[in-house]
């Protein structure tokens, strides 16, 4: 492995990447090593010339200043953004925990032991949570708190130049924002928050963010209605198709209600489900109709797409989308919004947007998990758990579980409908991130898919294989239940990367599909055992 990265390495002006990982550097996976697997890192060269390379992949298209003056201008912009970040007017969302995280790190490195990215990279110094945080912290003490030589002696200093700023931007996109570090820290310092706030400086002040999250993500959602690009006409067409398919498949009549005023629940899915995993919104339709719930979907812009990518990188975008979600609900005068199987959408709308929604904007928002648990445990639906007679394990999405505390409802459901449910270890609030968190699951360019399949997702893959270690034979079909779109996408990509459907019969899917698969009043075989 490359030698330990130092802070000063981020200022290097040579084209060498600071960190290069080989498969031998990473902790071994419990996989049959004679079976073929993809070479790592990606052999295709990174497109575009990268002036100041960080590692084996790239998340951002950074500006390419040609002169020292241009560089200085960018550094000034960065500092201006940092200054704003530490003012109450500009950082009405996260100022207090950010300041506490700046001022109280004891440098004990307990957080590092909790970080899956750090561990799975073979303890590469560059990915240590405090490596990124400490650079930002030193800049904070010098440029925001006034600095001086005594401060530099007490807190350390880093040379501020464009290469450092450019690499710091990129490094902010090597953290899943899962908060395992914050949970472990004895002081409550939040390295994930620091990574998030760094991303915010770059996006809100300098317009720098991954294309998949911003231009083709939140901006597209604000314009077309969904980050998938589905305009309202397209989503209605697609959902109608799904309704027809579900009706045919389940033997029950499914018709999704659109724009019904006065319904109890406005259900908002991650719109990607509709395109990639139609059986998921389909299953919601089956369950809600069978349970006699008064519900509707909305064809307003963003009213049918629960995603809120701004949660990961930009407070302004986050606020804009959250307001659209609430407006769609208010227009229909529903009693509450229920968010479907999407982790970050949960946290954005149910928790982070709280401060935003004052007065009559304060509409009830609930997770589908508790709604579903109430339905499943109420006895309204009849289940035959033997229909789910296959090993099932549960991936706990960080946003819902560790970060919102919704731990038991999904387990009550699984215990009710899946007789061969087994936990991963650790699980619940101690879970590991799937490796796709904070937007990584939809970022694939310049080797990013390889990086997240091999590094940030490695721990989760280990957990999946360990959870099924007693039944790895490919003839035994197994199901990783991941009640979150992005987690599913990441798990799909990892299973595909190592060919695990063929090698070990491992499939993945959401929670609602398992529920429908066990419903007596529905034709059997809802879950199809083929790769998707």
Partner 1 sequence: MATIELNGRTYTVDENGFLQEPEIWNDDVARDFATTEGITDMTDEHWVLVRYLRDYYLKYGIAPMVRKLCKETGFRLAQVYDLFPSGPANGACKVAGLPKPTGCV
Partner 2 sequence: MSMTYLDNAATSFPKPEETYVFMDQFYRTHGVNPGRSGYDLCMETGQLVDDTRKLLARFFNGTDSDRLIFAYNSTDALNLALLGMLSSGDHAITTTVEHNSVLRPLYHLSQHAGVEVDHVPFDANGFVDPDALAARFKPTTRVVAVNHASNVIGTVQPIAEIGRRCREHGIRLVVDASQTAGKIPIDVQAMNVDVLAFTGHKSLMGPTGIGGLYVQEGVEIRQLRAGGTGVRSAQRAHLVEYPWRLEYGTPNVLGIAGLNAGLKWIEKTGLAAIDAHEMRLMRRLVDGLHEVPNVSLYCQDSLDNHIAVMAFNLDGFEAGNTGTILDVDHNIACRTGLHCAPMVHEQLGLDKIHGAVRFGIGPFNTDDDITAAIGAVGEIAAVRAKKMTRTRG
Interatomic CA distance for residues 391 and 508, integer angstroms = 11
The partner in contact with residue 367, picked from partner 1, partner 2, none with C-beta cut-offs of 5 to 8 angstroms by kind, is none
Measured from the CB of residue 446, what is the shortest distance to partner 1 in angstroms?
6
The partner in contact with residue 153, picked from partner 1, partner 2, none with C-beta cut-offs of 5 to 8 angstroms by kind, is partner 2
- The two three-digit tokens of residue 246, written as one number: 């579900």
Interatomic CA distance for residues 123 and 191, integer angstroms = 17
- The CA-to-CA distance between both ends of the chain, in Å, stands at 36
Measured from the CB of residue 149, what is the shortest distance to partner 2 in angstroms?
4
CB 55 within 8 A of CB 450: no
Q: Which of 181, 158, 162 has its CA nearest to residue 5?
A: 158
Measured from the CB of residue 5, what is the shortest distance to partner 2 in angstroms?
20
The partner in contact with residue 24, picked from partner 2, partner 1, none with C-beta cut-offs of 5 to 8 angstroms by kind, is none
Span of 2-10, 117-125, 440-448, 511-519 interacting with partner 1 by CB under 8 A: 440-448
Residue whose CB is less far from partner 2, 73 or 161: 161
Interatomic CA distance for residues 441 and 135, integer angstroms = 26
Non-local CB neighbours of 423 within 8 Å, separated by 6+ positions: 393, 394, 467
Residue whose CB is less far from partner 1, 276 or 323: 276
The partner in contact with residue 502, picked from partner 1, partner 2, none with C-beta cut-offs of 5 to 8 angstroms by kind, is none
The interface mask with partner 1, positions 80-119, x = CB under 8 A, is ----------------------------------------
Measured from the CB of residue 216, what is the shortest distance to partner 1 in angstroms?
4
For position 485 contacting partner 1 by CB under 8 A, the verdict is yes
Cα angle for residues 100, 104, 109 (degrees, 5° grid): 120
Interatomic CA distance for residues 334 and 73, integer angstroms = 49
CB 235 within 8 A of CB 304: yes
* CA contacts within 13 A on the Cβ side of 493: 25
The partner in contact with residue 224, picked from partner 2, partner 1, none with C-beta cut-offs of 5 to 8 angstroms by kind, is partner 1
The residue within the footprint of partner 1, chosen from 74, 160, 187, 224 (CB under 8 A), is: 224
Interatomic CA distance for residues 404 and 343, integer angstroms = 10
CB 356 within 8 A of CB 325: no
Span of 3-11, 144-152, 238-246, 258-266 interacting with partner 1 by CB under 8 A: 238-246
Interatomic CA distance for residues 309 and 307, integer angstroms = 6
C-alpha distances out from residue 430 to 36, 120, 185, 407, 427, Å: 32, 17, 13, 11, 5
Measured from the CB of residue 146, what is the shortest distance to partner 2 in angstroms?
11
Residue whose CB is less far from partner 2, 13 or 88: 13
For helices 232-250 and 279-290, angle between their N-to-C axes, nearest 10 degrees:
70
Within residues 302-321, the interface with partner 1 by CB under 8 A covers: 305, 307
For position 230 contacting partner 1 by CB under 8 A, the verdict is yes
β-pairing, 364-367 with 336-339?
Answer: parallel
Interatomic CA distance for residues 14 and 12, integer angstroms = 6
For position 525 contacting partner 1 by CB under 8 A, the verdict is no
- The two three-digit tokens of residue 525, written as one number: 């075989």
- The two three-digit tokens of residue 154, written as one number: 């007490």
The partner in contact with residue 121, picked from partner 2, partner 1, none with C-beta cut-offs of 5 to 8 angstroms by kind, is none
CB 63 within 8 A of CB 121: no
Within residues 188-217, the interface with partner 1 by CB under 8 A covers: 212, 216-217
The partner in contact with residue 527, picked from partner 1, partner 2, none with C-beta cut-offs of 5 to 8 angstroms by kind, is none
Measured from the CB of residue 300, what is the shortest distance to partner 1 in angstroms?
17
Question: Under the rule (CB under 8 A), what is the footprint of partner 2?
Answer: 148-150, 153-154
| Sign (positive or negative) of CA dihedral 499, 278, 319, 338 | negative
**Interface with partner 1: number of residues (CB under 8 A):** 41
Residue whose CB is less far from partner 1, 245 or 259: 245
For helices 368-378 and 409-417, angle between their N-to-C axes, nearest 10 degrees:
40
For position 47 contacting partner 1 by CB under 8 A, the verdict is yes
Measured from the CB of residue 133, what is the shortest distance to partner 1 in angstroms?
28
Which residues of this protein are in contact with partner 1, per CB under 8 A? 47-48, 212, 216-217, 220, 224, 226-231, 233-234, 237-238, 241-242, 245, 270-276, 278, 305, 307, 342, 441-442, 444-446, 485-486, 489, 530, 532
């Amino acid at each position: 492995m490359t030698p330990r990265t130092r802070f000063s390495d981020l200022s290097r002006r040579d084209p060498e990447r600071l960190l290069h990982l080989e498969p031998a550097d990473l902790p071994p996976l419990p996989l049959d090593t004679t079976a073929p697997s993809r070479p790592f890192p990606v052999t295709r060269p990174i497109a575009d010339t990268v002036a100041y390379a960080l590692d084996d992949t790239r998340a951002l298209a950074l500006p390419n200043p040609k002169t020292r003056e241009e560089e200085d201008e960018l550094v000034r912009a960065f500092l201006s953004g940092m200054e704003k970040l530490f003012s109450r007017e500009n950082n009405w969302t996260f100022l207090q925990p950010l300041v506490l995280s700046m001022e109280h790190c004891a440098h004990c490195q307990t957080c590092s032991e909790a970080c899956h990215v750090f561990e799975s990279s073979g303890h590469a110094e560059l990915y240590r949570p405090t490596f990124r945080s400490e650079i930002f912290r030193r800049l904070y003490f010098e440029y925001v708190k006034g600095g001086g030589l005594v401060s530099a002696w007490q807190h350390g200093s880093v040379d501020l130049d464009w290469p450092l700023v450019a690499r710091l931007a990129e490094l902010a996109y090597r953290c899943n924002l899962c908060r395992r570090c914050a949970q472990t820290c004895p002081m409550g310092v939040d390295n994930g928050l620091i990574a998030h706030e760094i991303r915010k400086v770059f996006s809100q002040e300098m317009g720098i963010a991954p294309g998949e999250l911003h231009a083709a993500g939140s901006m597209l959602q604000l314009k077309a209605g969904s980050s998938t690009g589905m305009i309202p006409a397209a989503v209605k067409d697609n959902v109608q198709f799904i309704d027809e398919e579900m009706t045919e498949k389940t033997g029950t009549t499914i018709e999704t209600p659109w724009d019904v005023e006065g319904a109890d629940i406005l259900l908002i899915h991650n719109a990607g489900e509709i395109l990639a995993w139609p059986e998921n919104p389909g299953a919601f339709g089956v369950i809600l109709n069978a349970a006699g719930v008064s519900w509707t979907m909305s064809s307003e812009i963003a009213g049918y797409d629960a995603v809120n990518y701004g949660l990961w990188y930009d407070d302004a975008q986050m606020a804009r989308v959250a307001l659209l979600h609430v407006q769609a609900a208010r227009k229909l005068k529903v009693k509450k919004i229920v968010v479907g199987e999407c982790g970050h959408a949960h946290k954005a709308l149910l928790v982070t947007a709280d401060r935003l929604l004052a007065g009559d904007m304060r509409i009830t928002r609930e997770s589908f998990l508790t709604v579903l648990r109430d339905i499943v445990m109420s006895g309204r639906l009849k289940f035959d758990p033997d229909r789910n007679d296959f090993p099932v394990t549960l991936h706990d999405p960080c946003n819902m579980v560790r970060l919102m505390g919704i731990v038991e409802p999904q387990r009550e459901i699984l215990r009710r409908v899946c007789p061969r449910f087994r936990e991963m270890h650790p699980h619940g609030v101690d879970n590991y991130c799937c490796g796709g968190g904070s937007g990584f699951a939809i970022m694939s360019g310049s080797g990013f898919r390889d990086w997240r399949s091999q590094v940030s997702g490695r721990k989760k893959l280990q957990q999946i294989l360990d959870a099924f270690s007693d039944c790895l034979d490919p003839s035994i079909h197994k199901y990783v239940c991941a009640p979150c779109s992005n987690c599913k996408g990441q798990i799909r990509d990892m299973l595909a990367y190592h060919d695990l459907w063929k090698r070990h019969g491992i499939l993945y899917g959401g929670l609602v599909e398992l529920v429908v698969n066990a419903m007596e009043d529905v034709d059997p075989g809802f879950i199809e055992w083929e790769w998707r």
